[in-house]
């Protein structure tokens, strides 16, 4: 028992499980996992904290008081969007633009389905109000704001009991005066009203996307603010002295106060942590002197894929989440509905499918015995012998093989196969679904997967990914020993981040160097103010410049890194030409357009020192704890397979497949044609 250590803590709330990591001053990592509690996520978080305190060996209150940094990754925004659990909101727009959320864009999300309908907007038409005003494309006021319109709308908001409003006026990105006046008038009439204005939330071109983003921001405002307030209050009552930090979709953390105004910035809060951890740990490992990483995360509901060329975290500024357009800095993550809870089903023609619907945490897979009757991927994994029903979550949860076989048996009867054949089919189909996602991120974007090392994490990924990685000829797979809570580890190695953008929308030849640097200086001042409020000292601050650029006449712009020590506009132009050349092996020597300039303000954080262990001998026989039958597709049958205790395998040990490696929170399956080696950072390295 010790009371001297301090512990950096990361908590990641997923759809099925809530994961926790605590890292002490020596680099020792403590992990914990508990079922997510959908009705009140804080309960699941407190359960994880209690487990972490028990592992450390001190009372919960004392443990929490010894936490100098607490980072939280939450799915509250995602769940609120997907389940449409937000409260009614109002959208205020320029007269004549009431239908922009319904009209959307001319293209279809699915060009092959003529009957596909877009998702319903979060603001129904009868809750969209117009005000008389007009600002032109140069930012000049053509028609002054009619304040009486705003006062009238405020009265209707009061009667309807609405507590959150979005405001998106035409060309407010060039002149926000009218939007700010609307907000001022609304708050004067209704002081407790939450008002999101597009010139603050997403000051970028494209009217529909901006209206969509600010509407989603307003839709999330109440739910996110209340949950974070309650969660933060519970932690402080327990003795937490550190300021709670929230992981953003961009991979940087910020304060709860900032997120209260910009909840749209955390819609991918959870998955971002795993990508950050991959970049951090990958640079330490330097697998085969190859700093190109492919990060994949398979949890209970989804499979997330991200490409990290040279270890750099990929960033996007425009995203589509289940049909809704969002303008916000976001790690470029490809997500498909494939997880341990993905439901298997048979179509009208007798074809077997898996996902995208999930059983979630409640009722969960049939083997959980929580009322679920549908066969899921986890049920198939259990039937195939990969999972020990008595050792799921280290034995905390007992699984029912009988229930799994019963659920899969219903499907087997429909398609005329045995239970084991149907389970093998479920396993193969979900793997093929994930393989398709990986092809999309690599081959279909001109990336050779053979140039990448594969980082595998999430509770279900180490069981599935080694099976199909060889299809992409990926030779090196890295599975952290704490793979199931790897995203939570990413939270504690993240940095403070604030992002700012200014619309330019001019050709670069028409912008002077002094004007361009003046615009960047204004953004840097905003970033400095935010970092000061976050108590980041000057020596720990740094800034990254970017710009959205394109060739004249092109429709799609590219996010380009700008050198920090540029001396002329030509340096900016050359940065774009070099980027275009690298991406397409082609570029014209002409002046590109600059749509937006961007600045990211970072605050360095104290990161835990990940402990290294001296390599021992290769013999791993002492880690074998049992044998059981497991099905291997290459062999076409179940065979008696060695089962290893993952915690008894030490750095330097090597083993050959077929083998099953069990850890309390995940299972690794090594195929017959693969070998596994543990490195000095306690990562399992699988090679074909």
Both 487 and 581 in one domain: the answer is no
Joined tokens for residue 405: 């076989």
Give the integer Cα–Cα distance in Å for 453 and 4. Answer: 38
Q: What is the structure's pLDDT at 164?
A: 95
pLDDT classification of 288: cutoffs 50, 70, 90: low
**Is 390 within a domain?**
yes
- Are 597 and 523 in contact by the 8 Å Cβ rule? The answer is yes
- Are 344 and 426 in contact by the 8 Å Cβ rule? The answer is yes
Joined tokens for residue 102: 């319904």
**Is 247 within a domain?**
no
Cα separation values, 14 from 72, 76, 687, Å: 11, 10, 30
Both 596 and 651 in one domain: the answer is no
Both 490 and 523 in one domain: the answer is no
Q: What is the structure's pLDDT at 104?
A: 86
- Strand 624-632 relative to strand 453-457, pairing: unpaired
b/e burial code for range 627-648 (CB count within 10 A of at least 16 → b): eeebbbeeeeeeeebbbbebee
Cα separation values, 119 from 91, 99, 122, Å: 17, 14, 9
Joined tokens for residue 355: 């996902």
What is the span of the domain harbouring residue 117? 82-225
Q: What is the structure's pLDDT at 677?
A: 95
Give the integer Cα–Cα distance in Å for 454 and 688. Answer: 12
If we measure between CA atoms, which residue out of 138, 124, 135, 122 comes closest to residue 221? 122
Q: What is the structure's pLDDT at 230?
A: 86
If we measure between CA atoms, which residue out of 190, 189, 186, 206 comes closest to residue 198? 206
Q: Return the half-sphere exposure (C-beta side, CA atoms, 13 A cut-off) of residue 177.
A: 14
Give the integer Cα–Cα distance in Å for 275 and 251. Answer: 8
H helix or E strand, kind and range, residue 629: strand 624-632
- Strand 476-480 relative to strand 683-687, pairing: antiparallel
Residue that finishes a domain, picked among 583, 603, 623: 603
> Does 111 have pLDDT greater than 80?
no
Both 409 and 464 in one domain: the answer is yes
Mean pLDDT, range 135-158, rounded to an integer: 95
In terms of C-beta density within 10 A (0-12 exposed, 13-18 middle, 19 or more buried), how is residue 81 classed?
A: buried
Q: What is the structure's pLDDT at 301?
A: 80
Q: What is the structure's pLDDT at 76?
A: 81
H helix or E strand, kind and range, residue 200: helix 198-201
Enumerate residues 6+ apart whose C-beta is below 8 A from 517. Answer: none
Give the integer Cα–Cα distance in Å for 297 and 459. Answer: 8
Mean pLDDT, range 347-361, rounded to an integer: 87
- Are 59 and 3 in contact by the 8 Å Cβ rule? The answer is no
Cα separation values, 47 from 74, 344, 444, 582, Å: 15, 31, 42, 48
Q: Quick count: other Cβ atoms within 10 Å of Cβ 373?
A: 12
Cα 433 from chain centroid (whole Å): 19
Mean pLDDT, range 48-69, rounded to an integer: 92
Q: What is the structure's pLDDT at 287?
A: 54
In terms of C-beta density within 10 A (0-12 exposed, 13-18 middle, 19 or more buried), how is residue 617 classed?
A: exposed
H helix or E strand, kind and range, residue 454: strand 453-457
- Are 188 and 139 in contact by the 8 Å Cβ rule? The answer is no
pLDDT classification of 3: cutoffs 50, 70, 90: very low
Mean pLDDT, range 94-105, rounded to an integer: 91
> Does 80 have pLDDT greater than 70?
yes
Both 597 and 623 in one domain: the answer is no
Select the highest-mean-pLDDT range: 74-78, 389-393, 628-632. Answer: 628-632
Q: What is the pLDDT of residues 449-490, one digit of tens each?
A: 999 999 999 889 999 999 888 889 998 999 998 888 899 999
Give the integer Cα–Cα distance in Å for 65 and 666. Answer: 30
- What's 376's DSSP letter? B
Residue that finishes a domain, picked among 603, 630, 656: 603
Q: What is the pLDDT of residues 506-553, one digit of tens each?
A: 999 999 999 999 999 999 999 999 999 999 999 999 999 999 999 998
CATH code of the domain containing 572: 3.30.1490
Sign of the CA dihedral running 277, 278, 280, 284: positive
Q: How many domains does the chain have?
A: 3
**Is 575 within a domain?**
yes
Q: What is the structure's pLDDT at 2?
A: 41
Q: What is the pLDDT of residues 394-447, one digit of tens each?
A: 888 899 999 999 999 999 999 999 999 999 999 999 999 999 999 999 998 888
**Is 139 within a domain?**
yes
Looking at 204-314, which runs of residues are DSSP E strands? 244-247, 253-255, 293-298, 303-308
**Is 635 within a domain?**
yes
Give the integer Cα–Cα distance in Å for 666 and 381. Answer: 12
Both 330 and 473 in one domain: the answer is yes
Give the integer Cα–Cα distance in Å for 484 and 20. Answer: 10
Nearest 5°: phi and psi at 506? -140, 160
Tell me the pLDDT of the chain averaged across its residues: 91
**Is 242 within a domain?**
no
> Does 496 have pLDDT greater than 70?
yes
Joined tokens for residue 362: 């409640």
Residue that finishes a domain, picked among 553, 569, 603: 603
This prediction has a pTM of 0.88
pLDDT classification of 142: cutoffs 50, 70, 90: very high
pLDDT classification of 1: cutoffs 50, 70, 90: very low
Q: What is the structure's pLDDT at 661?
A: 97
- Are 139 and 174 in contact by the 8 Å Cβ rule? The answer is yes
Joined tokens for residue 162: 């609405």
In terms of C-beta density within 10 A (0-12 exposed, 13-18 middle, 19 or more buried), how is residue 417 classed?
A: middle
Give the integer Cα–Cα distance in Å for 646 and 650. Answer: 8
Cα separation values, 89 from 18, 149, 166, 446, 489, Å: 30, 18, 7, 42, 36
Give the integer Cα–Cα distance in Å for 292 and 310. Answer: 5
Sign of the CA dihedral running 488, 494, 496, 498: negative
Both 182 and 107 in one domain: the answer is yes
If we measure between CA atoms, which residue out of 386, 387, 392, 362 comes closest to residue 374? 362
Nearest 5°: phi and psi at 56? -70, -35
**Is 47 within a domain?**
no
- What's 105's DSSP letter? -
> Does 501 have pLDDT greater than 50?
yes
- Are 569 and 513 in contact by the 8 Å Cβ rule? The answer is yes
What's the start-to-end Cα distance of the chain, in Å?
A: 43
Looking up tokens 């301090």 gives 6
Give the integer Cα–Cα distance in Å for 126 and 408. Answer: 47
Q: What is the structure's pLDDT at 587?
A: 84
Give the integer Cα–Cα distance in Å for 11 and 8. Answer: 10
- Are 635 and 657 in contact by the 8 Å Cβ rule? The answer is no
Both 465 and 500 in one domain: the answer is no
**Is 250 within a domain?**
no
Mapped to the 3 state alphabet, what secondary structure does 124-135 carry?
A: CHHHEEEECCEE
What percent of the chain shows pLDDT beyond 70? 98
Both 455 and 396 in one domain: the answer is yes
Q: What is the structure's pLDDT at 38?
A: 75
Both 411 and 440 in one domain: the answer is yes
In this predicted structure, which of 109-123, 128-142, 169-183 has the lowest mean pLDDT? 109-123
Both 322 and 433 in one domain: the answer is yes
Both 291 and 149 in one domain: the answer is no
Q: What is the pLDDT of residues 199-228, one digit of tens each?
A: 999 999 899 999 999 999 999 999 898 888
């Amino acid at each position: 028992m010790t009371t001297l250590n301090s512990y950096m803590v990361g908590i990641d709330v997923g759809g099925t499980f809530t994961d926790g990591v605590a890292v002490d001053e020596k680099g020792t990592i403590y992990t914990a996992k508990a079922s997510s509690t959908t009705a009140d996520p804080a309960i699941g978080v407190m359960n994880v904290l209690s487990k972490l305190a028990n592992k450390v060996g001190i009372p919960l209150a004392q443990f929490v008081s010894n936490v100098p940094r607490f980072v939280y990754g939450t799915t509250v925004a995602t769940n609120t969007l997907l389940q449409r659990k937000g409260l009614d909101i109002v959208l205020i727009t320029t007269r004549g633009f009431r239908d922009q959320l319904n009209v959307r864009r001319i293209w279809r999300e699915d060009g092959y389905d003529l009957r596909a309908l877009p998702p319903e907007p979060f603001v129904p038409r009868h809750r969209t109000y117009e005000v008389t005003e007009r600002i032109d494309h140069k930012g000049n006021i053509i028609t002054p704001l009619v304040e009486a319109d705003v006062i009238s709308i405020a009265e209707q908001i009061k009667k309807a009991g609405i507590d959150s409003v979005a405001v998106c006026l035409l060309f407010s990105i060039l002149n926000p005066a009218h939007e700010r006046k609307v907000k001022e008038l609304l708050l004067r009439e209704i002081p407790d009203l939450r008002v999101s204005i597009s010139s603050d939330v997403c000051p970028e071109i494209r009217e529909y996307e901006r209206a969509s983003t600010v509407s989603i921001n307003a839709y999330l405002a109440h739910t996110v603010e209340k949950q974070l307030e309650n969660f933060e209050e519970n932690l402080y009552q327990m003795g937490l002295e550190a300021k709670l930090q929230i992981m953003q979709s961009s991979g940087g953390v910020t304060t709860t106060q900032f997120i209260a105004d910009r909840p749209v910035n955390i819609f991918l809060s959870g998955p971002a942590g795993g990508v950050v951890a991959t970049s951090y740990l990958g640079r330490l490992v330097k697998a085969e002197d190859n700093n190109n990483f492919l990060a994949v995360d398979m949890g209970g509901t989804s499979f997330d894929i991200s490409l990290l060329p040279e270890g750099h975290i990929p960033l996007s500024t425009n995203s589509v989440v289940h049909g809704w357009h969002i303008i916000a800095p976001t790690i470029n993550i490809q997500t498909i509905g494939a997880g341990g809870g993905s439901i298997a089903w048979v179509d009208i023609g007798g074809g077997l499918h898996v996902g995208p619907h999930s059983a979630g945490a409640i009722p969960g897979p049939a083997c959980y015995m929580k009322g679920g009757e549908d066969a899921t991927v986890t049920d198939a994994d259990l039937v195939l012998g990969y999972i020990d029903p008595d050792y799921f979550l280290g034995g905390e949860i007992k699984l029912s093989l009988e229930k799994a076989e019963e659920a899969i048996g219903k499907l087997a009867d429909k398609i005329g196969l045995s239970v084991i054949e149907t389970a093998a089919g479920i396993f193969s189909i979900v793997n093929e679904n994930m393989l398709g996602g990986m092809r999309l991120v690599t081959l279909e974007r001109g990336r050779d997967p053979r140039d990448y090392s594969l980082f595998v994490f999430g509770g279900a990924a180490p069981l599935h990914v080694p099976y199909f990685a060889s299809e992409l000829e990926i030779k090196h797979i890295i599975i952290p020993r704490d793979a199931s809570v790897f995203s939570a580890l990413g939270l504690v190695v993240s940095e403070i981040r604030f992002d700012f953008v200014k619309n330019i929308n001019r050709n670069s030849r028409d912008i002077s160097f002094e004007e361009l640097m003046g615009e960047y200086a204004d953004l840097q001042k905003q970033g400095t103010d935010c970092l000061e409020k976050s108590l980041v000292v000057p020596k720990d601050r740094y800034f990254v410049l970017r710009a959205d650029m394109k060739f004249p006449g092109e429709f799609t712009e590219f996010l380009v890194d700008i050198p920090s020590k540029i001396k002329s506009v030509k340096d900016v132009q050359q940065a774009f030409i070099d980027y275009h050349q690298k991406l397409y092996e082609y570029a014209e020597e002409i002046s590109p357009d600059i749509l937006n300039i961007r600045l990211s303000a970072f605050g360095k954080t104290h990161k835990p020192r990940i402990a290294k262990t001296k390599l021992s001998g290769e013999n791993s026989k002492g880690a074998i704890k049992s044998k059981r039958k497991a099905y291997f597709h290459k062999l076409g049958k179940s065979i008696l397979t060695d089962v290893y205790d993952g915690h008894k395998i030490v750095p330097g040990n090597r083993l050959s497949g077929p083998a099953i490696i069990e850890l309390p929170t995940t299972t690794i399956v090594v195929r017959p044609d693969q070998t596994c080696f543990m490195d000095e950072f306690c990562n399992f390295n699988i090679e074909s």
